[in-house]
Structure 1
Amino acid sequence: MNTGGDDATKGGDSSGNEVRDDDDDSSGSSDDTIHAVPAPKINFFRQRQRKERDHLRESVTALEAQLVALQTQHAAAAALESPWRRRATLLKADNAYALLENDQLRQTLRAHIAFGHALRATTWPAPPTVSLVVDVPWRARRLSANAAQRHNAARAISWHQYTQLTRAMVAGGLVDCAVEKTSSVPKSWPGDIVVVETATCRLLAVDFEAVADTLWAVMVGGIPDVERPNFVLETFGDDVVYVDAPRRFAGLRGRNVDVIRRSKEVKRHVIVSRSILQDDVRCLDDDVAFVCNEEKWVVIDGSDGPAKTSVKFFMRSTPPQLGAARSSLEAMKEMETVVHNLMVDAIAMARGTERTVMQFL
């Protein structure tokens, strides 16, 4: 037997190690390629989204912490502010809003003027429609004949007066009322408008709620004032009353109808009043020579303790509007002494109301 030939046929070396031919290597490599798992692809878009989300979460956390710190800092600073600083901040905000509103109205007016000058050009765009001054109830001081609009206008007018309380007390020097006083000062506003401001401060040893109830009753006609009687015309809720207070000024018969609001607070009551210049239900009589234009603020403060009450009264009045009976040059000439008459009338009104109230305390 030729065993050597068989070994040679099988293939091998002298050391006995098996030698694989090229065909075996090719077959094994092909099998590995078929059964190998492909490497996963990296989704760079989702990876970038995750990074952005994590960054946003960190930013939100940091901003929330910053907001809490700023709120804490603001609360601490507000607690240390003086009352005068708080009032000044509020008045500054009111002035900024008024200037912004004035600028917007000026821009709208310019647009309407430009539109009027360019009516011949059919392609000229019309300016946007805005609410003009006369459309705002508290600016127009008008009560319409429509019941719902009338009710809303009366409440809006009286509420606006209440929002102006701080400004009125500052203007009258009544914020810190330590001593009794009475003053009446004429002022000139832009547009040659004459304004008379009357301020009165009284200190009473009576409970402030009793004073407030009595003063309210006098102003709405519940307690008759012989010199200046008031008559209730309508009520717009429990806290707003529409009254008629007949007035004579410079020897002429006039009309004075007011919307009066009462606001009850913890340690004080506030009563505000505003003249109505036009009433679509109650038209002017032919013999009415003028329509009063006044606004009043009364603060009955009992924060100093029981049986210690301060009454702060501030009234601003302008020359009355002339009625149809006196809309002539002669009537205007009769108003030459209007400032003096306004001052005398305002002081007389304050003192007359004070006397009536004191009779029932």
Structure 2
Amino acid sequence: MSPSDTTPEPLPPQVPPAAVRVLRLSQYRSYAHLDLELDIRPVAFFGENGAGKTNLIEAVSFLSPGRGMRSSGADAIARRSEVGTAPQWAVYAEIDSFSGRHAIGVGAQGSARRETRIDGDPAPQTALARLVPLIALTPHHDRLFAGPRADRLKFFDRLVYAADPAHGEAASAYEKIRVRRQRLLDEGHPDPTWIRALETDMAGHGVAMAAARLDALSRLQAEIDLRPDGHFPAADLGLDGAVEADLADGLSAAEAEDRFAQALEAGRVRDAASGRTLTRGPHRTDLIARHRIKQQAAADCSTGEQKALLLTLALAQARVLRGQIGLVPLLLLDEACAHLDTKRREGLAEDILATGSQAWLTGVEKSLFDAFDTQAQFFEVKDGAAHRV
């Protein structure tokens, strides 16, 4: 299924970037303490493998909801001086957002539970998404199109979430209800009224997720189509999902909810027998991508081509966010220049500067970022510190 044709709105001429102006770390992975003051330009970290570059942009990823870009628990994040001590770590940042300057604190103090504060007050993680839209790419994504379906869906949902925080809330509610429904089925002979109520709620959240994905895909494809001859290859995108297909075929939200709820009811015996939700819902959707010029499935492209396609999606979504919500997102690009030739590295710098994003990049050598010239901030990472150069 392909998105409908959409004429994208032109980008506003002046859009404030989301930017980290202060970053402080305490007992965080390889850093006992770190204190950086920054301006709104892209930030490039370079240094030897294992120096701690990725740790820095992972810390920034905690300014958005979730478990960070490595999905690590508190035990892995905390820097320990003594074996057996309780995990304690903290990330503090002052950020520019559409609503002004905010102070964000994230960390754990003696427990695995992560705590979040905004401007000094306790806050739910979901509140972060409404302050700091964020798009992240890591080396783990390099073979995303050839890997498990769930990884592609998670990546795409993060793109959707950056523009529409309500999508993350619907997805969280959907997953909680899905787990509760499966638990009832596993226990056997669930109360018909109770499980029907769960399936009705699950269908409502599921259709909301599918609708948000279709809207995001349409905007993203339209933005890609505006620049078919850019630095990175144009991609043709689609979503392979039952609920998304129903909506794309013209069913109303209410009709799609009814159809999905009926499918869940019909699939109870099968789902109970398998121990998992095999009924096709938004949790089983797949992102489909093709390299337009080569007319080749992304999964069959080389590692370098797959990485270039991912950068196509990330940069296009950054432009969509700028036009849609009037705020340039943070871009976290870990080892983004790996597998890119000189021409594409230059193109990456040009595209990042064109979006106005405060991109955070890592690489083993400063020369990888030469195309930024003086339009970026450079730090050499070594010995548990980041030195401005």
TM-score by length of 2: 0.22
**RCO higher in structure (CA 8 A, sep ≥6):** 2
TM-score for both structures, normalised by structure 1: 0.23
Q: Which has the larger radius of gyration?
A: 1
